[in-house]
Amino acid sequence: MITRMESNAYGKNAINLSKIHRYPDRHEIRHITVNISLQGDFETAHTIGDNTKILPTDTMKNTVYALAKDHFNTSIEAFGLYLADYFLSHNPQLSIATAELTEFCWTRMVFDGKPHPHSFMNGGSEKHEAIVIQDRQSISVTAGIKDLLILKTTDSGFSGYIKDQYTTLKETEDRIFSTQCDISWKYLAPSPDRASSSDQVSPSDQVSSLDQVSSLDFAGLYSSIRNNLLHTFSEHKSLSVQHTLYAMGENVLKEFAAVGEITLKMPNKHHILFNLEQFGMDNRNEIFNATDEPYGYITGTLVRDKAQ
C-alpha cells in the first residue's frame, strides 16, 4: 500500500499569559491565552523521524512570552499579527502560521465612585477572540466575541410557526429574549483601489499584506462593533431569534466598511412562562422557568451582496 501525507500541522495550545502595564497612577491587566499552529515542510518528521525542520512547541511557548514584553501593548489582533509574522519570517520551512488569541475581561473595582488603581474583578463569561492566519502571500484577520450573555425583557415574540401533532409551544407576542452568543467577523484591509462604498467588496478581499492590515485600528473597531451589536439587539423588534440575528449582522456590515463577513451563533436561552394557574394565580409575564437545556441553536453568516 502506498501512502502519502495529505496535510499536517503542529503547535502549542493554551499558552496562558498575563501582562501588567504599570503607569504612575494606575495598573492595567491583560490576560490572554494563545494557540500557535504551524504548517509547512514537516513530512519527514512523520515518515522517517527527521526533526531537523521542527521548531519545538516549548520554543513556541517561550517565544510568545518573550515577544509579549515589547509587542503586546495594544490589541490582541495586533499581537497576533506580530506573532504570525515572526514565526513565518524566522522559519523558512513554514508555509502558514496561525495565531489564535483569547482575551478575558477584567473590570476595575470602584469604591465611593472612584476606580481603584490596581484592583480588578472578573468581567464575566465574555471573551474577545482573534485569529490571524498568514502565509507567504497574504494575511487574514478574524475577530469576535465569545460567550456574550445578553437579555431583554420585551420587544420579542414568536408566532406563525408550523404546528403539527407534536407541537405544544404557545405563540407569544411578548417574551424574554436571552442568548449567549458567539459572533465573529473577518476584516478587510484598507486599499486605495477599493471603492469607499461598503457594498462593493466581497469576502474574497479578506486577505492582504501585513502593512495594509496592520493599519486598522483593531481596538477601536472592536469596541464600536460590539456596541453596534448590543444596540441593535436592544432596539430591534424581534419576531424570532433569526430575525434579530440578521438585523445585528446587517447593521455591522452597513456601518463598518472594514468588515467583509460576519457570523453569529445565537443559542436561545429559554425563559418559559411558569404556570401559576395551577395555584389559582395569574402570571402576567412575571414568573419564568429559566432553562439551560435543551436549547434552540440558531446560526447565520452574512456577507455583502455584490449585485446591489
Q: Tell me whether residue 172 is one of the annotated catalytic residues.
A: no
C-alpha–C-alpha distance, residues 91 and 164, integer Å:
61
Choosing from 95, 120, 137, the residue where a domain stops is 137
Q: Do 108 and 167 share a structural domain?
A: no
pTM over 0.85: yes
Q: Do 133 and 149 share a structural domain?
A: no
List pLDDT tens digits, range 239-293.
999 999 999 999 999 999 999 999 999 999 999 999 999 999 999 989 999 998 9
Q: Tell me whether residue 12 is one of the annotated catalytic residues.
A: yes
Strand partners, 19: 30
Burial 40-49 (b: 16+ CB within 10 A, else e): bebeebeeee
* Average pLDDT for 80-100: 98
Residue among 19, 27, 152, 270 flagged as catalytic:
270
Residue 5 pLDDT grade (very low, low, confident, very high; cuts 50, 70, 90): confident
Q: Do 199 and 60 share a structural domain?
A: no
Choosing from 109, 137, 165, the residue where a domain stops is 137
CATH (domain of 76): 3.10.270.10
C-alpha–C-alpha distance, residues 70 and 85, integer Å:
15
Residue among 44, 57, 263, 301 flagged as catalytic:
57
Q: Do 82 and 169 share a structural domain?
A: no
Q: Do 173 and 132 share a structural domain?
A: no
Q: Do 123 and 195 share a structural domain?
A: no
Choosing from 108, 137, 166, the residue where a domain stops is 137
Alpha-carbon Rg for the chain, nearest whole angstrom, is: 24
Q: Which pLDDT score is estimated for 187?
A: 96
* Average pLDDT for 103-116: 97
Domain count, the chain: 2
List pLDDT tens digits, range 136-181.
999 999 999 999 999 999 999 999 999 999 999 999 999 999 999 9
C-alpha–C-alpha distance, residues 30 and 21, integer Å:
8
Query: Can you give the residue range of the structural domain that contains 118?
Result: 1-137
List pLDDT tens digits, range 185-215.
999 976 555 444 444 444 445 556 788 888 9
List pLDDT tens digits, range 256-266.
999 999 999 99
